[in-house]
């Protein structure tokens, strides 16, 4: 209840100075009018206008609350005590707020201190008893929705008393009865036999970080546990491509310096420069290298659906498609010619080594590992399906 009081004070301070006390009084915002007047009277205790407003607002606020309490008690309803507690608590806060003013001002507004503690304690006890008893009634219905309401009521009991009878153990019962257990399963509907380790790899998926209040996921069935929902991963297609080997041939060239010759004039004489030196002309030759690139490729793809099933009604709630694909690619190079003709990028590729094709089961398991991450992401986006 401290939170309510703190919020009340913050709101009051926010309005202080923004709207006149008189306006707040006319709008029947009595507590805000009181806060505003008290704030002003602390600085100027002789403001007769504020004294009159405070006197009216204080009396009207208290009378309104007392009338409300009287009405609630006359109804005879069992769930009134939370409201009565809050009302008495507000009256106590209001009283303490005004109490800070000088005694002379308190006498002018007709302030009389009232000890509300007994009323607050009585309402607190009866409110806690009501919520506790009602939670017990809800738990007996053995419905998830009722158990969740019971948990909320037991939390209210904890707000009044941190330790009240067997509230903690009842909250555990409420969580157990209110939780929707979800079982994760895999079914192979493809004509291809799955590798022995495939299901084990896919069910290694960790669901613990998806668990939250009212939803629990299991990848291994607990026999003593009732499952409200099933997440079924239906494997509908598995395809591993043939092993592909392809050779690509291409040639790279580079021009390199290869000595020089002398520049000759039309008569075959060596041409001189301005200093009398023979003019030399560089000679070039072309280096060539044939490159043979061998490309090895293989892929595996798994297609299926993620089906969300209500186990209690045996109804399909939703279906999401899922496709996972993995690739094997290996390229290695051979050369015929002068490797000095190659680009630096091509030279670096010469270090690639030939690798054997992975067997089909390994490719399928690798695709399953990719699917595992995808499945978890899709489930996370659909947790709302299990909120009931």
**Residue 198 and residue 132: Cα distance in Å, rounded?**
50
Alpha helices in 30-116 (DSSP H): 30-43, 48-75, 81-99, 103-108
CATH number for the domain harbouring residue 261: 3.30.160
Is residue 5 predicted with pLDDT exceeding 50?
Answer: no
Alpha helices in 76-178 (DSSP H): 81-99, 103-108, 117-139, 144-160, 167-178
Question: Do 201 and 145 share a domain, yes or no?
Answer: no
Q: How far apart are CA 342 and CA 289, in angstroms?
A: 7
Per-residue pLDDT at 11 exceeds 60: no
User: Which of 125, 157, 174 delimits the end of a domain?
Assistant: 174
CA–CA separation, 130 and 132 (whole Å): 5
> Cα separation of 216 and 209, whole Å?
10
CA–CA separation, 124 and 84 (whole Å)? 9
Q: Are 239 and 271 part of one and the same domain?
A: yes
pLDDT above 90: percentage of residues in the chain: 75
187 and 133 inside one domain? no
Mean pLDDT on 24-53: 91
333 bridge partner residues:
293
pTM of this structure: 0.73
Read off the pLDDT band of 252 (50, 70, 90). Answer: very high
204, 150, 214: which is closest to 182 by C-alpha?
A: 214
155 and 185 both lie in a single domain: no
| Residue 265 confidence class, pLDDT cut points 50, 70, 90 | confident
- End residue of a domain, out of 142, 174, 206: 174
Q: Do 61 and 186 reside in the same domain of the chain?
A: no
pLDDT at 150 over 60: yes
**Each residue's pLDDT tens digit, 12-30:** 444 445 688 889 998 989 9
Q: Point out the least confidently predicted range of 15-19, 21-25, 70-74, 177-181.
A: 15-19
Q: Across the chain, what does the average pLDDT equal?
A: 91
Please indicate, yes or no, whether residues 134 and 51 belong to a single structural domain of this protein: yes
Q: Are 195 and 361 in contact (CB under 8 A)?
A: yes
**Residue 198 tokens, joined:** 């495939």
Confidence of residue 2 (pLDDT cuts 50, 70, 90): very low
**Which is more confident, 183 or 198?**
183
Residues of the domain holding 74: 2-174
Cβ–Cβ contacts within 10 Å for residue 91, how many? 19
Task: Mention every residue, 6+ apart, whose C-beta is less than 8 A from residue 278.
Answer: 262, 263, 270, 271, 272
C-alpha to C-alpha distance for 98 and 41, rounded to whole angstroms: 10
> In terms of domains, do 160 and 61 share one?
yes
Pair (126, 157) in one structural domain: yes
Q: Considering only residues 64 and 13, tell me which one the structure prediction assigns the higher pLDDT.
A: 64
Domain identity same for 238 and 128: no
**Which tens digits make up the pLDDT trace of 83-138?**
999 999 999 999 999 999 999 999 989 899 999 999 999 999 999 999 999 999 99
pLDDT digits (tens, 9 = 90+) for 239-250: 999 999 999 999
Taking a C-beta distance cutoff of 8 angstroms, is the pair 235, 202 a contact? no
| Domain match, 132 and 225 both | no
Considering the domain architecture, whether residues 136 and 260 belong to the same structural domain is answered as no
Q: How many domains does the chain have?
A: 2
- Rounded Cα distance between 204 and 199, Å, is 9
Same domain, 65 and 122: yes
6: pLDDT strictly greater than 50: no
- Please write the tens of the pLDDT for every residue from 196-229: 788 777 777 778 888 999 999 999 899 999 999 9
Last residue of a domain, which of 174, 198, 216? Answer: 174
User: Average pLDDT for residues 353-378, to the nearest whole number?
Assistant: 93
Of the ranges 12-16, 38-42, 184-188, 244-248, which one carries the lowest mean pLDDT score? 12-16
């Amino acid at each position: 209840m401290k939170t309510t009081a703190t919020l009340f004070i913050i709101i009051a301070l926010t309005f202080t100075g923004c709207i006149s006390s008189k306006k707040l009084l006319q709008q029947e915002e009595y507590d805000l009018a009181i806060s505003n007047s008290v704030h002003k009277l602390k600085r100027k205790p002789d403001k007769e206008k504020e004294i009159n407003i405070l006197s009216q607002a204080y009396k009207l606020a208290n009378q309104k609350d007392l009338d409300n309490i009287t009405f609630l008690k006359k109804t005879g309803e069992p769930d009134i005590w939370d409201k009565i507690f809050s009302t008495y608590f507000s009256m106590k806060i209001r009283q303490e707020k005004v109490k800070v003013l000088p005694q002379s001002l308190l006498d002018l507004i007709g302030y009389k201190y009232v000890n509300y503690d007994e009323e607050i304690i009585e309402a607190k006890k009866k409110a806690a008893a009501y919520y506790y008893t009602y939670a017990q009634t809800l738990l007996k219905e053995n419905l998830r929705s009722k158990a969740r309401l019971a948990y909320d009521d037991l939390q209210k009991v904890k707000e009044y008393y941190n330790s009240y009878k067997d509230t903690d153990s009842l909250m555990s019962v409420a969580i157990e009865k209110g939780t929707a257990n979800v079982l994760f399963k895999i079914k192979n509907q493809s004509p291809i036999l799955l590798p022995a380790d495939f299901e084990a790899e896919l069910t290694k998926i960790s669901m613990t970080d998806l668990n939250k209040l009212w939803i629990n996921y299991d990848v291994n069935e607990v026999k003593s546990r009732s499952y409200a929902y099933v997440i079924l991963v239906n494997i509908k297609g598995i395809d591993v491509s043939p092993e592909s080997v392809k050779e690509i041939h291409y040639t790279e060239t580079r021009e390199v310096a290869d000595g020089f010759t002398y520049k000759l004039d039309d008569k075959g004489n060596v041409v001189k420069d301005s200093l009398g030196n023979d003019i030399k002309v560089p000679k070039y030759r072309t280096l060539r290298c044939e490159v043979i690139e061998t490309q090895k490729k293989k892929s595996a793809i798994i297609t299926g659906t993620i089906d969300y099933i209500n186990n209690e009604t045996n109804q399909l709630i939703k279906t999401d498609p899922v496709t996972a694909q993995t690739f094997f690619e290996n390229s290695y190079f051979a050369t015929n010619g002068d490797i000095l003709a190659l680009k630096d990028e091509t030279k670096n590729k010469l270090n690639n080594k030939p690798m054997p094709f992975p067997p089909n089961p390994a490719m399928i398991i690798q695709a399953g590992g990719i699917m595992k991450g995808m499945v978890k992401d899709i489930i996370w986006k659909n947790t709302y399906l299990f909120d009931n």
